[in-house]
Amino acid sequence: MNFKNISILTKKDLSLFFKNRFFSIITILGLVAYIIIFFAMPRIQEDKIKIGIYSDVPLTKIYYFLESHDAEVYKGVSIEDLREKVSKKLISFGIYFPSDVKEKKALKLIINIETEDEMKEAYEYIAKELYHTEFGFDLNIESESEIIGVDLAGKQIPVRKRLIPVLAFFLIITETLGLSNLISEELENKTIYALLSTPVNIQDIFFSKGITGLITTLIPSILFIIITTQFKNFFSILLLLFLGSLFAISVGFLIGSIAKDMMSIIGYGFVIFILILTPSFNVLAPGTLSSWVKIIPAYFLVDGLNKIINFNTSFLNLLPNILILIITSGILLFFGAFILRRRLI
């Protein structure tokens, strides 16, 4: 291996990468767009329920009960007023206590049509509880809950923070296409033979492509992380991003070694991206995917980033993720290099 040759080739690859308008625009736009998406998301997770109440009978206990539980209450001036506030989503739901509420044991719940079924159920429970508080009737529903794992009640993670690992991974993986294109063009235009007829050897070419891939994948993701996390747990994140870049490079090697042109790179890339981006959804919406996603190595990158950024997990707890990423990237790199060599001979 000749480091001088590697640096010359890397410079050439970076120059070619940025001369390709498509990939340079994707790199810059991707970074800018993801930062905008991050800042467009709410800074805190709004999970307080604002209850609207209008009653034809005097209520003595409910307001005291709600205030003592730090709940937000809106006192409606009429049932129409409650309807309007619900339709405008200014309150979560409304409860109307009619004049015969005590005799008929019936009240009216005003819920927005867009409310999820789970929330509707929750609002019904709240209404029953309030009814019981005010009028003293027993609830006929028993419930018992046990919290397993970290209780995040009251400290929910805002969507924008959940997005950080996902967007950082998107940034890394998007750049894979550019690297694949560099490799594929080198093969298809046969410039690789011109290089190999000089003192350059195949290892120099592999390393220069790897370094180019590392620069193009790592720098945008680091910039994104700096802007969005403000250096919190920076070195653990940096390590995971580095491993993520290695993973992306190995994917880039694989695509580049089998693709013939830009169209086939995008074709192969599309299929592979769908697969490796799937685990990200589990971070955005935990529990939505089965445990099979763990067979996709990208899961361990997104999961690892999520653990550091959103849960302050210790480095020791990240070791399984790190090991799996090292092993899978190593295997993929080996296959990519193997196929590339086969194409050259």
Partner 1 sequence: MLIGLLKPKNGKAYVLGYDMVKDSKKVQRKIGVCFEYTNLYEELSAKENLTLFANLFGIKNFNPYELIEKVGLKGKENDLVKTFSKGMKQRLMVARALVNDPEILFLDEPTAGLDPVSSEEIRNIILEEKKKGKTIFLTTHDMYEADKLSDRVAFINYGKIVALDAPLNLKTKFGKRGLKLKLQKENGEIYEKDIVLDKDDTLEKILTTFKQDKVITVHSEEATLEDIFIKITGRGLKE
Q: Which residues bind partner 1 (CB under 8 A)?
A: 4-5, 8-9, 12, 15-16, 19-20, 189-191, 193-201, 345
Query: Of 205 and 222, which CB lies nearer to partner 1 in the complex structure?
Result: 205
Query: Of 75 and 190, which CB lies nearer to partner 1 in the complex structure?
Result: 190
DSSP calls for 6-72: HHHHHHHHHHHHHHSHHHHHHHHHHHHHHHHHHHHS-SS---PPEEEEEESS--SSHHHHHHHTT-E
**Least distance in angstroms from the C-beta of 7 to partner 1:** 9
Query: Of 87 and 203, which CB lies nearer to partner 1 in the complex structure?
Result: 203
5, 160 contact by CB (below 8 A): no
133, 65 contact by CB (below 8 A): yes
Query: Of 25 and 226, which CB lies nearer to partner 1 in the complex structure?
Result: 25
Query: Of 24 and 112, which CB lies nearer to partner 1 in the complex structure?
Result: 24
Distance CA 40, CA 58 (A): 43
Query: Of 8 and 111, which CB lies nearer to partner 1 in the complex structure?
Result: 8
Query: Of 99 and 201, which CB lies nearer to partner 1 in the complex structure?
Result: 201
**Least distance in angstroms from the C-beta of 338 to partner 1:** 17
244, 172 contact by CB (below 8 A): yes
**Least distance in angstroms from the C-beta of 231 to partner 1:** 37
Query: Of 19 and 88, which CB lies nearer to partner 1 in the complex structure?
Result: 19
Radius of gyration over alpha carbons of the chain, in Å?
28
86, 112 contact by CB (below 8 A): yes
**Least distance in angstroms from the C-beta of 1 to partner 1:** 12
**Least distance in angstroms from the C-beta of 88 to partner 1:** 56
Say if residue 168 is exposed, middle or buried (CB neighbours under 10 Å; 0-12, 13-18, 19+). Answer: buried
What pairing do the DSSP bridges indicate for beta strands 93-97 and 50-55? parallel
305, 164 contact by CB (below 8 A): yes
**Least distance in angstroms from the C-beta of 249 to partner 1:** 21
Question: Which residues, in sequence order, are bridge partners of residue 110?
Answer: 94
Please give the structure tokens belonging to residue 207.
């390393």
**Least distance in angstroms from the C-beta of 216 to partner 1:** 16
298, 169 contact by CB (below 8 A): yes
**Least distance in angstroms from the C-beta of 206 to partner 1:** 15
Place of tokens 């003595």: 60
